[in-house]
Amino acid sequence: MAQLIDGKALSLSLKEEMKGRIAGIEKEFGRKPCLAVIIVGDNPASRSYVRGKIKAAEFVGMDSRLVELPEDVSEERLIAEIAQLNEDEGVDGILVQLPLPKHIDEDRIIDAISLDKDVDGFHPGNVAKLWLGRPCTVPCTPKGIMAMIESTGTGISGKKAVVVGRSNIVGKPVAKLLLDKNATVTIAHSRTANLADTCREADILVAAVGRPEMITADMIKPGAIVIDVGINRVSCTAADGTTTFRLVGDVDFKSATEVAGYITPVPGGVGPMTITMLMQNTIECFLRRIN
């Protein structure tokens, strides 16, 4: 039976630590770090994530600003909002919640965020630095994943890591962070031949595909560390015809837990760690700007 990597508990202890750091920062520099979050439209999942980010900022004692724009906002207006936050000396981090409506070019928006306020680490300048091995803002979800793997106390060096998913937000950056820790890394994806065989070789398996419960016990090496990045809402229809929704990951938790050595739950795993790393990135951006 796998040991649970409790992202919620780990997050809480990191956020408690941050409270003290932020109080110290305010004493030393006369102001707190400030995170600005822009949300476009009414996507319920995005709204819920943004609420979580603002709540976490409040919890650690950080300032925050929430900019809410309508679904039909123009690209120019969104860029103007970002430009204003770029210029604002009181703002240390800017996050534009993704995905954006189809009429907006996400690349243009990410490029518009000042490199030194890019708390997501999505700006091409940060991505280039990450791959060059230079100091940079590391994307929040990959950073949280690494903290969770490291929390197990089992070393990464020399291990075989398989990342399923090749997104810019998770798959590619987490592969680079694992490589930096001397893992031998495979990036697998929907077209990988014999995906189950590839996954079964992994000492560290990161599932970031966005397909509910697709990683099953037979794809997991006994004792492996399994990190589930998926947050999928699936509907369940009861015998009486009522439909409810439940959150599941990309890993079939029930069967996987019988085989894995360590596993992250959904919810309460990677999600809270992503938000906590966003707080950490905002503090880091503050310190880089002020020094």
Does 95 sit near ligand GUN (CB under 6 A)?
yes
Does 250 sit near ligand GUN (CB under 6 A)?
no
Strands 243-248 and 232-237: antiparallel
Active site residue 84: no
Measured on CA atoms in the order 283, 285, 289, 291, is the torsion positive or negative?
Answer: positive
Decide whether 43 or 255 has the Cβ nearer to ligand GUN.
43
Closest distance of CB 184 from ligand GUN, Å: 27
Closest distance of CB 248 from ligand GUN, Å: 17
Q: Active site residue: 15, 53, 117, 159, which one?
A: 53
Decide whether 106 or 201 has the Cβ nearer to ligand GUN.
106
CA nearest to 71, candidates 104, 109, 37: 104
Amino acid at 232: N
CA distances from 235 to 73, 249, 250, 256 (A): 31, 13, 15, 21
Residue from the set 64, 97, 276, 280 that interacts with ligand GUN by CB under 6 A:
97
Decide whether 124 or 158 has the Cβ nearer to ligand GUN.
124
Residue from the set 39, 62, 96, 270 that interacts with ligand GUN by CB under 6 A:
96
Decide whether 97 or 276 has the Cβ nearer to ligand GUN.
97
d(CA 260, CA 63): 40
CA–CA–CA angle 19, 265, 219 (5° rounding): 140
Closest distance of CB 49 from ligand GUN, Å: 6
Does 141 sit near ligand GUN (CB under 6 A)?
yes
**How many residues are listed for the chain in this entry?**
291
Active site residue 111: no
Could you say which DSSP state residue 219 is in?
Answer: G
Helix/strand/coil for 160: strand
Question: Quick one: which segment of 60-68, 89-97, 156-164, 240-248 binds ligand GUN (CB under 6 A)?
Answer: 89-97
Does 98 sit near ligand GUN (CB under 6 A)?
yes
* Structure tokens that stand for 190 in this block: 């929907």
Residue 184, beta-bridge partner list: 160
Amino acid at 191: R
Q: Active site residue: 63, 118, 120, 203, which one?
A: 120
Does 206 sit near ligand GUN (CB under 6 A)?
no
Query: Assign residue 14 a region: left if phi > 0, alpha if psi is -120 to 50, beta otherwise?
Result: alpha
Which residues are CB-neighbours of 127 under 8 A, at least 6 positions away?
A: 121, 168, 173
Q: Active site residue: 15, 32, 92, 97, which one?
A: 97
Q: How many CB atoms lie within 10 A of CB 172?
A: 19
Active site residue 53: yes
- The mark string for 155-184 relative to ligand GUN (x by CB under 6 A, - otherwise) is --------------x---------------
Residues that bind ligand GUN (CB under 6 A): 95-98, 120, 140-141, 169, 274
- Active site residues per annotation: 53, 97, 120
